[in-house]
Amino acid sequence: MTLTDAELDRRAAAIRMILFDVDGVLTDGRVVINGDGSESKSFFIRDGIAMVWAQRAGIKVGFLSARLSPTTPHRAAQLGITLVYHGVSSKLATYERILADHGLSDADIAYMGDDVVDLAVLARVGLAMAPGDCVEDVRTRAHWVTRAPGGAGAAREVIERILRVQGKWDAIVESYLHEPADLPIQPTR
């Protein structure tokens, strides 16, 4: 169900919130279980900074994951993301609660998922997205499948496009071109 660039841009212009599945979207889908039972995951730094920029530009960002994981709220906190729903039994029911809590409609939401557990939400949102290495059942139903795979720039790709379409990208770039040189230096420990 891939859309034309013009239709993607029309939908991207309306986005007020971006929700992401975590495992397989913000990570490569691998979970390392350590000997003590703790787990580790890798998150792509450019995906994270793009989430920070989206929030600064006025777009809400959240995580919606069926898997309960201690790393999910930890990563969200690092990025200033307060919309964290993990360990949910129904992504669709949680999605409907998010809409009600924030006074948003389906057209206001972009969602990125990679597997069949994401299909119900992907079928509802204004912009349904998937990383380049998603499963085939998601690939055929997403409005947009990124070039980048999960955990390696897929989130950055969609955020940057949404910010560009909404006319917010150039201000982000300009802020770094003209950052002040007289800020105090924070010592490292």
Burial of 63 (0-12, 13-18, 19+ CB in 10 A): buried
183 pLDDT exceeds 90? Answer: no
- Report the C-alpha gap between 129 and 1 in whole angstroms: 11
Q: Is the pLDDT of residue 184 over 80?
A: no
CA angle, 86 as apex, 81 and 92 as ends, to 5°?
Answer: 105
Q: What is the pTM of this model?
A: 0.92
pLDDT computed for residue 129 by the predictor: 98
The fraction of the chain above a pLDDT of 90, given in percent, is 84
What is the strand order of the sheet 17-20 is part of? 83-86, 60-65, 17-20, 109-112, 127-130, 144-145
Reported confidence tier of residue 99, pLDDT bands at 50, 70, 90 = very high
What is the Cα Rg of the chain in Å?
17
Residue 60: CB atoms within 10 Å: 19
Strands of the chain (E only): list them.
17-20, 32-33, 39-40, 60-65, 83-86, 109-112, 127-130, 144-145
Beta bridge partners of 84: 63
Position 86 confidence tier, pLDDT thresholds 50, 70, 90: very high
Q: How many CA atoms lie within 13 A of 59 on its CB side?
A: 31
Per-residue pLDDT tens for 8-43?
Answer: 999 999 999 999 999 999 999 998 899 998 888 999
Domain boundaries, the chain: 5-79+92-168
Q: What three-state secondary structure class fits 12?
A: helix
Q: Per-residue pLDDT averaged across 91-97, rounded? A: 97
**pLDDT confidence band for 56 (50 / 70 / 90):** very high
Q: Give the class (CATH, top level) of 5-79+92-168.
A: alpha beta
Give the residue-averaged pLDDT of 63-90. Answer: 95
Residue 185: is its pLDDT beyond 80? no
